[in-house]
């Protein structure tokens, strides 16, 4: 087994009296597609923010890409990619400008930038849209572009926060093709989602309920564990006893 | 109607839950009244001046004492050398220099005539003129003190009576101006931003899809700011009556009526801005850059309109706050009735109708 | 540093794509600089006068024509009695009423003294004061003329006279726009810089792109510099446009060192942008940022010393102006442009604005945190 890219041990995040993330412990490995599931308000986003270096844990340990989240959040940022719920490409910049900006921010050299953006554009089939403002792109293309930009610097891990919200099934499928592609190249994909069918696409998943990880394993093992025929049922079984409900 | 009420309620929540903005909205008129009432004044006093006394005799001493005891001046330095005047002006603190010649006392004694030189820093022309006038008056006072018993024959004595504002307070002039400025800015800016924000966020479409006429969506956006402005108006009036001692001479009802009309006018301007801008940033910039300075300068309360070049006077006719300012002055300060303001009211009314019509037309066009 | 280059590229692209913002940043100041100095004029002239002449004598006629030919006054009413004239004031058709009593000429000669009645619309105190003063001067000059006619010319005048020789330096023609234009330019640059810098960051917060930035290796100071530098440059451009306008439209040529002016401008923008930055750290929506920025800018404008004099303010207000960067710049503008003041003269202003800039920027940077 290779070194884990993410390792957490009893990670806790408290806001005053409210415990958002309650002693979660898990590991993720290179090239793995790890699904981080849970109902709204279960604590997924809070946990992810801690792993991205956006938020310091209250207690517990975690290392991401080999760096301690307390001591080296900046080093972590250099080695991860991130795609938020709102996609966060600049709407008033063109496709090319967005690609070049993020590539440059992550320290790619000028030649590298040229090569990689050409490759990216080809892969996504956006040759005719290079000068289009992102605001004019259909939602599905924006998502795919955002994902590709998030991994343009070949990070060890890419964090995806509900990346396929609001898009048709075909486009979702295409998106997951991109994810598989990235995983094949050794990028660990850490993805949170509501869509239980997407849970089936992951190598392993964890399900958070009320701040704890109540289940973790491959989709197959979980279905067996809970005698369920689909991930929907597994999820329902765990989540219905949850006390928190809003994010 | 009930549906309209629902919309209005939602808008109220938006507005009143944003504490910081509210604070600023109410803070503005209060801050302005305090500033205008207690800090800003067109009067000039306490100006630092420089005296170069070559005479150094009894007469010059008396003159200097008279100058220093006046409120208008503060003697900053008393140099020996007039070559240093330019440097002193350049340093920036000194605004006026007075040079008393060496033979001052002798000249008065022997020739009944003496000369004093006054040099003003005219980078501020107004101050230069005023300070020169003050100095001249004080010197003239000194001059007549030299012969107190002689009476000048054939004197014309003007008796001046100050109307409406005998104490020459600044308040009667600027309180109406502050009212116009605050109401105009708040309504225009806030309304345009509120509407554009929904456009930006995309929630406007949801509203438009509802069984509501677009008109009602707009009206519901405007109503909270209407209320806010009325509250602002009340605050300003209370402050001016109780803090600045400026009573409302005319009919309060008329005052509120005219103010409501003006608020509607300003809201319409906000509406128009919201139909031509697509981002909150541009709506704000249009309101601030486009409206603030012109309103401040062309309303007539900071600078008299009659002094401006004709093209500007014409331009000021388009600024609604100009007409509102006249109405307020007439009603609040002069205590006049509707007969005195019907013309201005009509103009405001006309402007509102045109602006509202334009903005509604624009609004429908943008959606189609 | 490369990161900064990419950030700046992005910022400039975004700014120049938004047509309306561009217009506001460049066009609005230009237009306002052309129009507003014409409006901002404290000179008083064309005062409307209503006259009630109860005497109809040579003297009264002479006095009236002297007043109307002075250029300060416009005769808008010639009424039979005071009440009618007063109505003109109530209707805003007259600012002043001059009433000459019956028997004016006769009584002046016989009794050595005669009163004239003047009523002034004093709502605008300055106008009333100046109007009254001008009228007073004309009447007094008329008085002197009469007196010398009546008194024997060879009679020795026992009254001592002190003649005041007055000169005006730096602006001998008392050109009001020399005073206002540099000041208005300062206000315009201030508005552009402060408002834009505050809004820009909050906008990213509101839209959500700021989170994306937070996750990248972009350092705090990169991000802040990336936000400040474009507006710093824009501020300088707007200022330059203004200076050109001042030169070619108003004939204002800076008497002092232009490089010194730009040096001060740079430090001033540094302080101002820090202010905008600080506001943006406290606000979550653009509307909030705008309201807060606007509130302060309104106060800055009023207390800047442009429209009213700082010297005339009460002590507590003067202390407040010590913390307002605008007031320093307005003074410095005038000093350098009109008087040719040098570095030594403005060192205090420079230090003050620099200190303000350091405080504001430091506070803002401390506030802005990527990790919560």
Under 8 Å between Cβ of A145 and A95: yes
Average pLDDT of span A145-163: 90
Measured between CB atoms, which of C7, C208, C371 is closest to A86? C208
The answer to whether C313 faces chain B, any CB pair under 8 Å, is yes
Residue in C closest to B277 by C-alpha: C20
The answer to whether A102 faces chain C, any CB pair under 8 Å, is yes
Chain B residues whose CB is inside 8 A of the C174 CB are 122, 125, 128-129
- For chain C, the residue count is 372
Task: Inform me whether the pLDDT recorded for A170 exceeds 50.
Answer: yes
Contact (CB<8Å) A105/C3: yes
Contact (CB<8Å) C174/B326: no
Average pLDDT of span A71-81: 88
Residues 102-131 of C with CB under 8 A from B: 108-109, 112-129
Q: How far apart are CA C253 and CA B249, in angstroms?
A: 49
Contact (CB<8Å) C199/B279: no
* Residue C357 pLDDT class (50, 70, 90 cuts): very high
Put the strands of the sheet holding B113-121 in their side by side order. B73-77, B47-53, B96-100, B113-121, C161-169
**A164-181 burial string, b = 16+ CB within 10 Å, else e?**
beebeeebbebbbebbee
Contact (CB<8Å) A105/C9: no
Contact (CB<8Å) C215/A52: yes
Contact (CB<8Å) A55/C371: yes
Extract the residue ranges of chain B whose pLDDT is less than 50: none
The answer to whether C225 faces chain B, any CB pair under 8 Å, is no
Measured between CB atoms, which of B48, B121, B302 is closest to C170? B121
Task: Inform me whether the pLDDT recorded for A35 exceeds 50.
Answer: yes
Mutate to test the interface with B, among C15, C164, C335 (most CBs of B within 10 A): C164
What's the per-residue H, E or C state across B208-253?
A: HHCCCCHHHHHHHHHHHHHHHHHHHHHHHHHHHHHCCCCCCCCCHH
The answer to whether A104 faces chain C, any CB pair under 8 Å, is yes
What is the per-residue pLDDT for A247?
A: 43
The answer to whether C212 faces chain A, any CB pair under 8 Å, is yes
Chains A and C form CB pairs within 8 A to the count of 70
Q: How far apart are CA C253 and CA C231, in angstroms?
A: 26
Chain A residues whose CB is inside 8 A of the C217 CB are 74, 77-78, 105-107
What's the per-residue H, E or C state across chain C?
A: CHHHHHHHHHHHHHHHHCHHHHHHHHHHHHHHHHHHHHHCCCCCCCEEEEEEECCCCHHHHHHHHHHHCCCCEEEEEEECCHHHHHHHHHCCCCCEEEEECCCHHHHHHHHCEEEEEEEEECCCHHHHHHHHHHHHHHHHHHHHHHHHHHCCCCCCCCCCEEEEEEEEECCCCCCHHHHHHHHHHHHHHHHHHHHHHHHHHHHHHHHCHHHHHHHCCCCHHHHHHHHHHHHHHHHHHHHHHHHHHHHHHHCCCCCCCHHHHHHHHHHHHHHHHHHHHHHHHHCCCHHHHHHHHHHHHHHHHHHCCCCCCHHHCCHHHHHHHCCCHHHHHHHHHHHHHHHCCCHHHHHHHHHHHHHHHHHHHHHHHHHCCCCC
The answer to whether C192 faces chain B, any CB pair under 8 Å, is yes
Tokens 């959606």 -> residue: B367
Residue in C closest to A86 by C-alpha: C208
Q: What is the pLDDT of residues C32-64, one digit of tens each?
A: 888 878 777 666 677 889 999 988 888 889 999
Q: Among the listed ranges C8-17, C123-132, C346-355, which one has the minimum average pLDDT value?
A: C123-132
Q: What is the pLDDT of residues C276-324, one digit of tens each?
A: 989 988 888 888 888 888 889 888 988 888 878 888 888 888 899 999 9
Among B317, B175, B181, CA closest to B262: B181
Q: Among the listed ranges C65-74, C145-154, C178-187, which one has the minimum average pLDDT value?
A: C145-154
Q: What is the pLDDT of residues C138-168, one digit of tens each?
A: 888 888 788 777 776 555 556 677 778 888 8
| Both structure tokens of B278 | 């697509």
- Percent of chain A whose predicted confidence (pLDDT) is above 90: 30
pTM recorded for the entire structure: 0.81
Average pLDDT of span C92-116: 85
Contact (CB<8Å) C299/B288: no
Task: Inform me whether the pLDDT recorded for C370 exceeds 60.
Answer: no
**B335-347 burial string, b = 16+ CB within 10 Å, else e?**
ebeeebbeebbeb
Under 8 Å between Cβ of C286 and B281: yes
Chain A residues whose CB is inside 8 A of the C209 CB are 88, 90
What is the per-residue pLDDT for C93?
A: 85
- Beta strand pairing status for A188-193 and B47-53? unpaired
Contact (CB<8Å) A54/C370: yes
Residues 104-133 of C with CB under 8 A from A: none
Residue in C closest to A84 by C-alpha: C212
Residue that wins the pLDDT comparison between A244 and A146:
A146
SS3 at position B74: strand
Please report all neighbours of B, defined by 3+ CB atom pairs within 8 A. Answer: C
Mutate to test the interface with C, among A88, A142, A150, A163 (most CBs of C within 10 A): A88
What is the per-residue pLDDT for B337?
A: 84
Among B172, B169, B179, B173, CA closest to B255: B179
Under 8 Å between Cβ of B352 and B321: no
What is the per-residue pLDDT for B148?
A: 63
The answer to whether A58 faces chain C, any CB pair under 8 Å, is no
* Residue C372 pLDDT class (50, 70, 90 cuts): very low
Contact (CB<8Å) C3/A104: yes
Task: Inform me whether the pLDDT recorded for C19 exceeds 80.
Answer: no
Q: What is the pLDDT of residues C119-137, one digit of tens each?
A: 998 887 777 777 887 888 7
Mutate to test the interface with B, among C37, C39, C335 (most CBs of B within 10 A): C39
ipTM confidence: 0.79
SS3 at position B106: helix
Contact (CB<8Å) C339/B312: no
Which regions of chain A does DSSP assign to beta strands (E)?
6-15, 18-28, 33-38, 59-64, 67-68, 80-83, 157-161, 188-193, 204-209, 212-217
- H or E stretch including B327? helix B320-328
What is the per-residue pLDDT for B155?
A: 77
Among B129, B100, C4, B273, CA closest to A101: C4
Residue that wins the pLDDT comparison between C229 and B18:
C229
Task: Inform me whether the pLDDT recorded for C265 exceeds 90.
Answer: yes
What is the per-residue pLDDT for C260?
A: 92
Residues 235-274 of B with CB under 8 A from C: none
Distance from CA of C288 to the nearest CA of A (A): 22
CB-based contacts of A211, cutoff 8 Å, min separation 6? A19, A20, A21, A22, A24, A42, A43, A244
Please report all neighbours of C, defined by 3+ CB atom pairs within 8 A. Answer: A, B
């Amino acid at each position: 087994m290779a070194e884990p890219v993410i390792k957490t041990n009893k990670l806790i995040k408290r806001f005053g009296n409210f415990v958002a993330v309650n002693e979660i412990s898990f590991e993720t490995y290179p090239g793995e597609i790890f699904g981080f599931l849970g109902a709204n308000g279960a604590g997924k986003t809070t946990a992810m923010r801690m792993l991205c270096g956006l938020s310091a844990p209250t207690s517990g340990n975690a290392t991401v890409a080999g760096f301690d989240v307390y001591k080296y959040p900046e080093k972590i940022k250099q080695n991860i990619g991130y795609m938020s719920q709102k996609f966060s490409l600049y709407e008033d910049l063109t496709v090319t400008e967005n690609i070049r900006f993020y590539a440059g921010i992550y320290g790619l050299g000028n030649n590298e930038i040229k090569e990689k953006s050409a490759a990216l554009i080809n892969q996504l089939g956006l040759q005719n849209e290079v000068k289009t403002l992102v605001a004019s792109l259909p939602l599905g293309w924006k998502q795919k572009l955002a994902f590709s930009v998030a991994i343009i610097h070949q990070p060890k891990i890419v964090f995806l926060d509900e990346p396929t919200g609001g898009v048709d099934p075909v486009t979702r499928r295409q998106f997951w093709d991109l994810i598989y592609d990235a995983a094949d190249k050794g990028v660990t994909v850490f993805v949170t989602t509501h869509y239980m069918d997407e849970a089936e696409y992951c190598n392993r998943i964890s399900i958070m309920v009320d701040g704890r990880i109540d289940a973790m394993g491959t989709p197959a093992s979980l279905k067996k564990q809970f005698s369920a025929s689909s991930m929907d049922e597994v999820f329902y079984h765990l989540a219905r006893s949850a006390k928190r409900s809003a994010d | 109607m009930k549906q309209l009420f629902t919309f209005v309620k939602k808008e109220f929540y938006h507005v009143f839950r944003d504490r910081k903005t509210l604070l600023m909205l109410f803070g503005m008129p209060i801050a302005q009244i305090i500033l205008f009432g207690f800090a800003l004044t067109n009067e000039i006093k306490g100006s630092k001046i420089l005296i170069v006394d070559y005479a150094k005799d009894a007469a010059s001493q008396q003159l200097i004492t008279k100058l220093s005891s006046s409120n208008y001046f503060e003697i900053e330095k008393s140099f020996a050398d007039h070559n240093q005047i330019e440097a002193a002006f350049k340093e920036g603190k000194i605004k006026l220099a007075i040079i008393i010649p060496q033979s001052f006392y002798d000249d008065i004694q022997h020739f009944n005539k003496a000369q004093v030189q006054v040099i003003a820093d005219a980078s501020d022309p107004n101050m230069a003129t005023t300070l020169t006038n003050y100095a001249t008056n004080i010197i003239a006072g000194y001059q007549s003190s030299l012969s107190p018993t002689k009476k000048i024959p054939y004197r014309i004595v003007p008796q001046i009576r100050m109307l409406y504002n005998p104490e020459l307070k600044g308040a009667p002039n600027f309180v109406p101006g502050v009212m116009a400025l605050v109401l105009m800015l708040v309504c225009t800016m806030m309304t345009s931003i509120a509407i554009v924000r929904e456009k930006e966020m995309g929630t406007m479409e949801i509203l438009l899809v509802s069984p509501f006429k677009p008109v009602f969506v707009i009206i519901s956006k405007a109503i909270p700011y209407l209320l806010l402005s009325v509250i602002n108006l009340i605050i300003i009036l209370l402050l001016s009556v109780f803090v600045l001692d400026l009573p409302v001479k005319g009919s309060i009802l008329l005052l509120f009526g005219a103010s409501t009309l003006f608020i509607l006018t300003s809201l319409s301007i906000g509406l128009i801005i919201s139909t031509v801008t697509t981002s909150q940033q541009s709506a704000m910039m249009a309101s601030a850059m486009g409206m603030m300075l012109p309103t401040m300068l062309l309303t007539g309360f900071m600078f008299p309109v009659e002094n401006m070049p004709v093209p500007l006077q014409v331009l000021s006719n388009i600024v609604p706050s100009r007409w509102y300012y006249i109405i307020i002055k007439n009603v609040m300060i002069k205590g006049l009735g509707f007969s005195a303001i019907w013309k201005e009211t009509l103009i405001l009314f006309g402007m509102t109708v045109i602006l509202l019509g334009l903005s509604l037309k624009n609004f429908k066009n943008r959606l189609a | 540093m490369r990161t900064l280059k990419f950030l700046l590229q992005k910022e400039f692209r975004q700014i120049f794509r938004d047509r309306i913002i561009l217009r506001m940043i460049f066009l609005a100041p230009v237009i306002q600089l052309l129009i507003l100095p014409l409006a901002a004029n404290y000179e008083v002239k064309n005062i409307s006068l209503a006259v009630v002449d109860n005497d109809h004598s040579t003297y009264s006629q002479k006095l009236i024509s002297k007043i109307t030919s002075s250029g300060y006054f416009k005769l808008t009413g010639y009424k039979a009695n005071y009440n009618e004239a007063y109505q003109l004031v109530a209707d805003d058709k007259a600012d002043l009423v001059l009433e000459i009593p019956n028997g004016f000429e006769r009584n002046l000669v016989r009794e050595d003294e005669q009163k004239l009645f003047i009523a002034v619309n004093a709502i605008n105190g300055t106008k009333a004061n100046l109007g009254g003063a001008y009228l007073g001067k004309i009447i007094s000059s008329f008085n002197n003329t009469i007196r010398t006619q009546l008194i024997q010319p060879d009679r020795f005048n026992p009254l001592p006279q002190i003649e005041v020789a007055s000169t005006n330096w730096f602006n001998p023609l008392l050109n009001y726009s020399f005073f206002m234009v540099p000041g208005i330019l300062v206000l315009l640059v201030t508005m552009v810089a402060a408002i834009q810098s505050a809004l820009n960051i909050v906008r990213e917060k509101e839209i959500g792109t700021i989170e994306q930035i937070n996750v990248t290796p972009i350092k705090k100071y990169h991000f802040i510099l990336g936000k400040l530098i474009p507006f710093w440059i824009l501020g300088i451009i707007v200022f330059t446009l203004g200076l050109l306008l001042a030169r070619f439209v108003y004939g204002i040529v800076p008497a002092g060192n232009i490089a010194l002016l730009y040096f001060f401008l740079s430090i001033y923008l540094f302080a101002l942008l820090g202010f905008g930055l600080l506001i943006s750290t406290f606000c979550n929506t653009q509307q909030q940022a705008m309201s807060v920025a606007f509130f302060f800018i309104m106060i800055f404008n009023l207390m800047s010393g442009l429209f009213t004099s700082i010297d005339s303010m009460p002590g507590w207000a003067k202390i407040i102006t010590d913390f307002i960067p605008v007031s320093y710049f307005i003074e410095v503008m005038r000093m350098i442009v009109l008087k040719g003041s040098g570095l030594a003269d403005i060192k205090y202003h420079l230090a003050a604005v620099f200190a303000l800039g350091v405080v504001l920027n430091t506070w803002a940077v401390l506030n802005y945190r990527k990790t919560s």
